[in-house]
Amino acid sequence: MNTSVRDLLYTAEACDEGKSIRHIMEKELFMSSREITRCKQFDDGVCIRRANSSLSIPAFVGKSDADGLHPVFAGKSDSDGFSPVMIRECVFPGDVIRIRIYEDVENEGDIAANDIPLDIVYEDEDILVVNKPGDMVVHPSYAHYTDSLAGAVKGYYIRTSQNHVVRAIGRLDRETSGLVLFAKNRYVAAILSDRQGEMSKRKEYLALASGYFDVMQGTIDAPIGETPGQRMVRCVTDDGKRAVTHFAVVRQFDDFALVRLFLETGRTHQIRVHMAHTGHPLLGDGLYGKEIADSHGITRAALHAAHIEFTHPILKKKMSFDADLPQDMKIII
């Protein structure tokens, strides 16, 4: 099995005394039952280094009940002083729990690596933030099997000898440029995926919207659903799902405006549909802005994911990133 490993370390504090390792994994490390079960499958998946060496760790051979007993040999520790432990064992202040996250990169799926250069905004051991160009799909499809952003990330991992599964957190439409977040391991991916709703509300977009705005800021609360007979086209419809978009005009030009947008919901094509619904389709939007007389040379929907922020699952600190407008949008303002 071709694997990548990420170690999580947790040092028990006074308030943790008497808590089980399972409790720490669930409540402090936010691990799902599925991930906990997977960790127990490895001999060194859950280990502990006792602050008090006189506290012995029970020795077991083979596997047993639902708390998961690893094949453990009495008194055996690794070079860092960690020994396998049952997750029902309790912790004491100063104990260090090590959770080892194994990746199976062979189960990544069918992503064709490519050599398309990446505009990397940030990278560490756990996450990768990339500024995606417009007119590029995030995930490979039948029509874009060899030129996806996921393929570019996979190619980058290969060239830099990083053994990670490609996991995009959230998505952008093919035509939309801007920030895309990737998780480098299954643990971080699970936490960030659970927080997507919160993250979406902290994401900001910039758009070039056609027409003159009489109202400089406001909220569009209009349900969005599928257009009958057109699977990929959305519209505002009473029987659609609730969709809420907040907007503010940054700068008004003669026949279009630079607009900043925030989403409360994440419907397909939400910004494009809402702006068209209000009479301000995005420049270059071939689906929802066919009536625009002059898109000023823009050949895609003029939408850019300019800002994202979230709490880092490992570092526990706020991360905030910005991406400048791409050249095709910047050149006309």
Determine the angle formed by the axes of helices 186-194 and 33-40, rounding to 10 degrees. 170
Q: How far apart are CA 150 and CA 140, in angstroms?
A: 7
173 among known catalytic residues: yes
Does the pLDDT of residue 60 top 60, yes or no?
no
* Residue 86 and residue 67 in contact, taking contact as beta carbons nearer than 8 Å: yes
- How much is the pTM? 0.89
Comparison of pLDDT for 35 and 62, the residue scoring more: 35
Does the pLDDT of residue 68 top 70, yes or no?
no
pLDDT digit string, tens, across residues 311-326: 999 999 999 999 999 9
Place of tokens 């006074």: 14
Q: Say whether domain 108-194 belongs to CATH 3.30.2350.10.
A: yes
* Residue 71 and residue 63 in contact, taking contact as beta carbons nearer than 8 Å: yes
| Parallel, antiparallel or unpaired: strands 96-104 and 3-11 | antiparallel
103 band by pLDDT with thresholds 50, 70 and 90 = confident
pLDDT, position 180: 97
Compute the average pLDDT of residues 37-62: 78
**CATH number for the segment(s) 204-304:** 3.30.2350.10
Mean pLDDT, all residues of the chain? 90
pLDDT, position 64: 45
* Residue 282 and residue 288 in contact, taking contact as beta carbons nearer than 8 Å: yes
Q: Say whether domain 3-105 belongs to CATH 3.30.300.30.
A: no
Compute CA 65 distance to the chain's CA centroid, rounded to the nearest angstrom. 35
Name the catalytic one among 173, 221, 254, 255: 173
Does the pLDDT of residue 143 top 90, yes or no?
no
pLDDT, position 183: 96
pLDDT, position 79: 74
pLDDT, position 331: 96
The domain spans of the chain are 3-105, 108-194, 204-304
Asked if 108-194 and 204-304 have one fold, the answer is yes
222 band by pLDDT with thresholds 50, 70 and 90 = very high
